[in-house]
Amino acid sequence: MKTTVSAPPVRAPRSRGIPMPLWLQGAVEFLVAISFVAVFVLIGAISLTNGFNKEQDVASAAKLSGNIWLLMHGVPLNLNIPVNGIFDAIAGTVSLTPLGLTLLPLYLTFRAGRRLAQASYEGQFWQPIVAGLLVYIALTTAVSYVSDTSRVATSLWFSMLMPFGVALLGAILGGYYESRSLVRMIGVNAATVVSRFSQYSRWAGSYAWAVVRAAGVGAIAFMAGGALLAAGALFYNWNDVVSIYQSLHAGAVGDTALTLLQFGFVPNLLVYAMAWSSGAGFSLGEGTVVDLTRTDVGVLPALPMFGALPNPVEPWSFIACIIPILAGAVAGWWFFREGEDHFDEWVSLKIRIRPISWLISVLFLALLIGLLGGVISVALGQFSRGSLGLGRLTAIGPDPLEFGLYAAGLLALGVILGRALAPLIEPDNSPELERFAGQTRADLKAAKKAERQKARALREQQKKSGKDAKALESPVIDGEIVSGGSISASSEALRRLFAEDQQKTEKTASSAVAPAGDVQAREESEETSESPSTDEKPKTAGTVFDAEEQVSHTSKTAEETAEPVEEAPKKRAVIRRPKAKRKPSSHES
């Protein structure tokens, strides 16, 4: 008995939902990037464990979290704290930004920029960015308005501008990291714009861009050296740091919060170490100095990180100046590897004395990289500098201008050193050119072997012909060797070549329209003619046809011989061979 198998039920297609527009996706991504919740959780944990030595409700913890979150974005806090027991009144501004905590909102906006770049088509990246920045500014303004108290207040304009700059920087970096193209971000093709300039302008632009990147490499190397110096100072003074921790008796939660706060100031300490190694130094309050010659700070707050301050010993402390010098050397070496030193090429064409042109180009390169490194140092010094608004702790960090000048000089010195030593350190990569050219060593050996065989064949042919050995490397024309490629030196060989070609062409053309007898009669009549016509160029035994005339003649002949024609070809110039002089016979004399 047959049974029927029922067909499987048809499933309805799964609904994909309504696609989210770009502006809405930008608003959601930047809303997720708000790091206020993380700060509120940390402050709430400290408040619940009585870390502030008094009971604090949720509203007070939220306001304190909002002020700290705004400070992370660089928004200064205006303090107006009245007298509290033994503590004096505090009226000042807290502008020292913990750059380590600033990395948190910067990373979150960086992640949002990457996701928005993935969702955007070419030239649409600005739509979700604008919507997301508007949402971010609205939230920071709301946090500033809610967090204001009688003791701590923030400026509304600063609460709008500073977070806007941090969020925009993170989003742009994230979008470029994901797309790697300005076309996808803003719809502008940089290659098309550059192609409109002349070659000299493109060379100048590539040189300038290489200098900017070399300055960035030098700044990164400088920061790496500052980080190593700060880590070495912390390791050397570890006992002092631990003793300060033990004297605070903050407990587990307090020690954790204090450690996280100090982690927030790690980038600031890195910049201070850079300023110290450059010789500019830094300060930890009014009237304090920390440089390569002395450390005079007076009484400082009980923060464990202050236990890692260096105690210089002259003249050994000046060895730290090698950090910015080495950073400049790395920048000069990297610029040499980049191979975009078009200014050196231009100077070498203007000044033929190589040592002078090389010195001018290297000094100019050191000046440019030193200036750019100084500008970067000024920016780092300005961002890491600030005030705590407590007593004399109103000037913390390096002087930006002084730090920039010291750093520019040492970086320029390092660039000269690195550029001079780069040709000696950098290995010769010329054998790698074979690989880039698509040839292997075996192919190159085979080509050289073929060249040797060809030269050997030419030498054998030269021996057979009995010509001079100096013409071995000359080109061969139908067995004749032209010395040095000169037409004047090979007139006889060229004459014979063109004469034979002329005879073959005339015979072929005449045979197409006349019988053999007529051809022979025509040749005899031409030989017995008195002189050529005025249109023809008389030729002698030592004269060679003009190259253009010969090419046009052969091309016309080829066309005539390709297809049979009815009319006779036009009369062409021929070589007039001089007749041999005949000796008079006896009866004639």
Amino acid present at 371: L
Coil, strand, or helix at residue 149? coil
Tokens linked to 362: 């290297």
Structure tokens at 18: 């309504």
pLDDT given for residue 85 in this prediction = 60
SS3 labels along 3-62: CCCCCCCCCCCCCCCCCCCHHHHHHHHHHHCCCHHHHHHHHHHHHHCCCCCCCCCHHHHH
Per DSSP bridges, beta strands 396-397 and 295-296 are: unpaired
Q: What is the pLDDT of residue 467?
A: 53
Give the type of residue at 495: R
Measure the CA–CA gap between 411 and 517, rounded to whole angstroms: 94
pLDDT for residue 428: 58
* Cis-peptide, bond into residue 315, ω within 30° of zero: yes
Give the tokens for residue 401: 């201008």
Question: For residue 292, what are its two tokens?
Answer: 């390569």
Q: 295 - beta bridge partners?
A: 290
C-alpha–C-alpha distance, residues 38 and 34, integer Å = 9
- Residue 512 has, within 13 A of its CA and on its CB side, a CA count of 18
201/188 Cα distance (integer angstroms): 19
**Which pair of structure tokens corresponds to residue 431?**
């054998």
DSSP annotation of 513 reads T
Facing residues of 84 across strands?
A: 87
How far apart are alpha carbons 76 and 98 in whole angstroms? 12
Chunked into runs of 10 residues, the chain (589 residues) has average pLDDT values of 48 52 87 82 71 65 86 88 65 86 91 88 84 92 87 87 92 86 69 79 89 95 94 89 82 77 89 93 88 84 84 85 95 91 89 90 95 95 88 86 95 94 75 54 73 84 65 46 45 62 63 48 49 44 44 47 49 49 50
Is the C-alpha dihedral spanning 511, 512, 518, 524 positive or negative?
negative
Residue 155 and residue 127 in contact, taking contact as beta carbons nearer than 8 Å = no
Judged by phi (left if over 0) then psi (alpha if -120 to 50, else beta), residue 285 lies in left
d(CA 67, CA 144) in angstroms, rounded, equals 7
Burial class (CB in 10 A: 0-12, 13-18, 19+), 118: exposed
Instruction: Residue 490: count other Cβ atoms within 10 Å of its Cβ.
Output: 21
Cα dihedral sign, 538-544-546-549: positive
Give CA–CA dist 74/293, Å, rounded.
32
Closest CA to 230 of 302, 323, 355: 323
| Total Cβ atoms within 10 A of residue 96 | 20
**Cβ-based neighbours of 432, under 8 Å, separated by 6 or more:** none
Provide the 8-state DSSP code for 569: P
Q: What is the pLDDT of residue 532?
A: 45
Q: Cα-flanking dihedrals φ and ψ of residue 93, to 5°? A: -130, 130
Cα dihedral: 180, 186, 190, 192 (round 10):
130
- Return the closest-CA partner of residue 36 out of 134, 174, 147: 147
Q: How many CB atoms lie within 10 A of CB 519?
A: 16
In sequence order, the 6+-apart residues with CB closer than 8 A to the CB of 216 are: 376
pLDDT, position 50: 63
Amino acid 51 reads G
| Phi, psi of 297, deg, nearest 5 | -120, -15
Q: Decide if 407 contacts 271 (C-beta within 8 A).
A: no
Residues linked to residue 397 through DSSP beta bridges, in sequence order: 283
CB within 8 Å of 496: residues ≥ 6 apart? 480
Q: How many CB atoms lie within 10 A of CB 27?
A: 21
